[in-house]
Structure 1
Amino acid sequence: MARDALLDTETKIIVLFMFLGLTAWYLVQQVTANELLELAALIGVGVVVPTLVNEW
């Protein structure tokens, strides 16, 4: 039963957006030195977006 939870759709969405959030953070670092934008990319894409997607 615990194994099924690991393959849950919500878990897949969270892992995908964690990867995208880290990628966005890295790309923002390459473009600008603004730490606020870096944090917004990391938290926005990695936490807020998957939460909204899973709640929808």
Structure 2
Amino acid sequence: MVSRDTKVTAVFALLGTALWLVAGQLTDVQWIQWAVLVGVGIVVPTLLNERRG
């Protein structure tokens, strides 16, 4: 069975990738694109999983 933490991380990784692609269409500033990818795909799910404990 897949843990809840893994499900949360997978959903946000997919969402981060989708938003990264959208950001690539809207702006040519690479640091913004990477901030969206890392922020949504890594930081947010990590904070949510740590907060839930």
Tell me, yes or no, whether TM beats 0.5.
Answer: yes
| In 2: Cα distance, 1:24 partner to 1:51 partner | 18
TM-score of the superposed pair, with normalisation by structure 1: 0.88
Runs of 4+ off more than 4 Å = none
Partner residue of 1:33?
A: 28
1:24 partner letter? L
Give aligned-pair identity as a percent: 39
How far is 1:20 from its partner?
A: 0.5
Gaps of at least 5 residues in structure 2 are none
Which is higher, the Rg of structure 1 or of structure 2?
A: 1
Tell me how many residue pairs correspond in the alignment.
51
Uncovered stretches (5+) of structure 1, i.e. residues with no partner: none
CA RMSD of aligned residues (A): 0.5
* TM-score w.r.t. length of structure 2: 0.93
